Amino acid sequence: MDRPALDSRRGDTVDFVCGCIRQGVVEGRFVPGQRLIARDLIEEIGISRGAVREAFRRLAAEGMVDLIPNRGASVRRLSRRQVEELFQIRECVEGLAAGLAAAQIDKGDNRRTFTQVWETVRPTGQVMPWNVFIDNNRLYHRTIVEIGGNAQLSALIVNLQLPVVMIQVGRAMRPEHAELSHQDHVAIAKAVLAGDAQGAEQAMRRHVRGSHDWIQTLPNSAFKPDGS
């Protein structure tokens, strides 16, 4: 990520800091529950303390970090109940997104865009590192939402902070979980490319429900304690 010019506005600097932290969370350099040390970020990125504080406030509003009185910020870590509630919402909204994608598949460049992404992320039969799986998973789901063409739905899904959830539980993913996810992705892709809105929505709902089922089998140590 390119650094902003020295004469850039404060807003650009804060955007840059937010982007660095988001990228660090997605890449796993900052893990759920980890405290973000302002001094370290100032030294690493080379920006002011005020910009870091403002970035923390903005990311807290987005749900990416938690602000802790007198301690700064930490990467958000979700409780079991919070994850369950998010997946209840996700099943509905991502099901809708898949149905919209199928209905819009032959508009503009949607078919070409989806096909290119699908060729990139489709299963190859080989086990991939968990971080690669998560990156591919994000690209696949994001593309489905984008070609659906509903900006409000896209904003809603972004606010669910699903990357935080997947990073929190991703290291516990076993090969059989990834294989089930791959099979689901194939079924969703077939329905989207066929323009089958109802089939795409149903396939996505099954996929999200299945992901939630295995996440709920994880031990309590994988989650933030309820009420803390």
Q: Which residues of 58-91 are buried (b: 16+ CB within 10 A; e: fewer)?
A: bbeeeebbbeeeeebbbbbbbebeebeebbeebb
Please tell me the pTM assigned to this model. 0.79
> Residue 190 is encoded by which pair of tokens?
């077939």
User: Quick one: pLDDT at residue 206?
Assistant: 97
107 DSSP 8-state letter: S
- In the chain, DSSP assigns E strands to 35-36, 65-68, 72-75
pLDDT value for 62: 78
pLDDT tens-digit profile, the chain (228 residues): 444 443 345 568 899 898 888 888 877 788 888 999 888 888 888 788 888 989 999 888 877 888 888 778 999 888 999 889 999 999 999 999 999 999 999 999 999 999 999 999 998 877 777 778 888 888 999 999 999 999 999 988 877 767 677 778 776 777 788 888 899 999 999 999 999 999 999 999 999 999 899 888 888 888 888 765
- Token pair, residue 57, equals 């406030």
**Among the listed residues 66, 64, 58, 74, the one whose alpha carbon sits nearest the alpha carbon of residue 13:** 58
Model pLDDT, residue 103: 98
Q: What is the pLDDT of residue 222?
A: 85
Please measure the distance between the N-terminal and C-terminal CA atoms of the chain and give it in whole angstroms: 35
Element (H, E) at 51: helix 49-62
Record the tokens describing residue 51, joined without a space. 């910009």
Looking only at the bridges linking them, the beta strands covering 35-36 and 72-75 are antiparallel
Q: What pLDDT is recorded for position 8?
A: 45
DSSP state for residue 106 in the 8-state scheme: T
The ranges assigned to domains in the chain are 10-75, 80-222
- Rounded to 10°, the helix 197-215/80-103 angle is 160
Classify domain 80-222 by CATH architecture: Up-down Bundle (1.20)
Fold of 10-75: Arc Repressor Mutant, subunit A (1.10.10)
